Chain A
């Protein structure tokens, strides 16, 4: 096992924690946090595994992660705005599980 693999495993851990939290939490802000942490986990795996060889770090995963971070920020900002709107309309920052009658 190398340090790369250590970080990759941490990434997997983060990802799975995120998935679990996303599923069980009701509050939207928490779900958004969970998605962000999941994203970080994926990015970490992506980048960590690039460091398996010591010679020269692979720039392509780094570029992908940067792109991914931008996308994640966009999505987070949008999700937060949507959450606020929901909260303003329904009074709760949760999804209504029951259908409207």
Chain B
């Protein structure tokens, strides 16, 4: 068994399996739910396999087609990719289970192929070490995500989808332009080769700017977040969950990867800018969330704010490198679990009462306790209250900030948590009270409630799993490239 774990080419399975699943779901839509769940389970197992492999052997390299870089494309996996793959599989599995109960027959026929394409794109993105290949995966990701948003079909969803599509395409093109410049400067698309050769020059600066701008747009960092709330709020809830939890993280992952491995020697000096944007995202997103009157919109703005946190690591990485990156990755995965759970919970509210107006939640805490519990637990993690993954992430981030004497950032980190608490408990408060106008209710399938609750519990559980996850992140020392750069700088 152990041998089997170590010999299977898990990375390849991770890419091809969901793709095959998507095709099969498209061809024979009769049993999509079962087919999809089997695929997801397979993907989950593959991540476990890949994890075992990585723990045994360090980083994973695969020269596709037997052609070594720079001619061919390399697949690459280290701890960072592994954690992202893992969180994708986990959230994906729960959302999938949720989706089997959420969608009706026709909708699930449409949902599954698109979602499996999305999964393919995510996995391929986390495993790629080739700049152009990354562009293709980004496009695959963007298109499938937009198509999923559009599934909801209403005015708001279509508008949101379109805005998202335009932003996503613009982002991809910016990225591609940067890739073009890099290719023509160094004659290679391979990350490893590029990282060895890269040095500051006007062209590289432009490439850095374009690639970062493209990815920031896709990650929806303030002030490029305009497309996110309408898209995430108007999509079907399981889809919102996927988007907020995974898709946004994918472009963030890519940005992180590129800055760490490629641009760090030159980009350190502008990292402060990302930090400022992060701060503004936290404040703006939280204030907007406070103003919302609908749960899903609130949760979507909360994503805008939470994304801001991820960018605080960039200015902090100088003095407190590994801590800051660990913090951010921890925040990212906690947010993935929590936000997915939260959107699922929001979906349950919508299904139950037919609306998601916060002021009319009408004693949901009594009538839908599991869902409200899921929402609350997810909220705990988002606020960063102990014991939760969000707490660990914020703790580390705060530690990094204070180690470096960045009081301003430390204050923002704490303030962001308080603001998050304010908007999230607004929802919870109304969940306890009675609405002025009671609405007609529909039963919520048990699966939907439990999927949300379990995922939210996962976000809480993460608070105790740091000793397990942080070593995983360190496989292949993805944050090490940066620390050596740091030595050079100092």
Contact = CB atoms under 8 A, between A and B. Distances in A.
Interface of A: 15, 19, 22, 28, 31, 35, 38-39, 42, 45-46, 49-50, 52, 60-61, 64, 67-68, 71, 74-75, 78-79, 82-83, 85-86, 89-90, 95-96, 99-100
Nearest to B177: A42
A78 B146 contact: yes
B158 A71 contact: no
B247 interface: no
A99 B230 CA distance: 8
A89 B155 contact: yes
B176 A35 contact: no
Given A35-B169, A50-B184, A82-B165, 6 more contacts: A22-B170, A35-B173, A52-B184, A78-B146, A85-B153, A90-B158
20 contacts: A38-B170, A42-B177, A45-B180, A46-B180, A50-B184, A60-B183, A64-B132, A67-B136, A75-B165, A79-B165, A82-B146, A82-B150, A82-B158, A83-B162, A86-B159, A89-B158, A90-B158, A90-B159, A95-B159, A96-B155
Contact of B162 (A67, A68, A82, A99): A82
The B interface, classified by DSSP as helix, strand, loop or mixed, is helix
A35 B166 CA distance: 8
Contacts of A38: 170, 173
A37 B269 CA distance: 33
A79 B176 contact: no
A49 B158 contact: no
B355 interface: no
B139 interface: yes
Contacts of B181: 45
A17 B22 CA distance: 38
Contact of A39 (B159, B162, B173): B173
- Select the residue from B147, B154, B183 with max chain A CB neighbours within 10 A: B183
Contacts of A78: 143, 146-147, 165
Interface of B: 132, 135-136, 139, 143, 146-147, 150, 153-156, 158-159, 161-163, 165-166, 169-170, 173, 176-177, 180-181, 183-184, 189, 230
Contact of B139 (A31, A42, A75, A95): A75
A49 to B, nearest CB: 4
A71 B162 CA distance: 17
A80 to B, nearest CB: 11
B202 to A, nearest CB: 13
B172 to A, nearest CB: 8
A96 B163 CA distance: 10
B421 to A, nearest CB: 25
A85 B170 contact: no
- Select the residue from B135, B169, B177 with max chain A CB neighbours within 10 A: B169
A31 B388 CA distance: 44
B176 A49 contact: no
Contacts of B173: 15, 35, 38-39, 42
Nearest to A23: B170
Nearest to A88: B158
- The 5 A-B residue pairs with the shortest CB-CB distance, nearest first, are A49-B184, A46-B180, A86-B158, A42-B177, A71-B139
A35 B158 contact: no
Contact of B163 (A19, A46, A90, A95): A95
Contacts of B161: 82
Contacts of B184: 46, 49-50, 52
Nearest to B131: A64
A25 B157 CA distance: 21
Contact of B177 (A22, A45, A79, A96): A45
Contacts of B143: 74-75, 78
A48 B232 CA distance: 39
A95 B166 CA distance: 11
A28 B162 contact: yes
Nearest to A32: B166
A83 B184 CA distance: 36
Given A38-B173, A71-B136, A79-B165, A90 B147 contact: no
Contacts of B180: 42, 45-46, 49, 61
Contacts of A35: 166, 169-170, 173
B81 to A, nearest CB: 23
A54 B36 CA distance: 52
A95 B156 CA distance: 10
Contacts of A22: 166, 170
Contact of B176 (A42, A82, A86, A99): A42
Contacts of B165: 75, 78-79, 82
A83 to B, nearest CB: 7
A45 B165 CA distance: 24
B177 A15 contact: yes
A31 B147 CA distance: 18
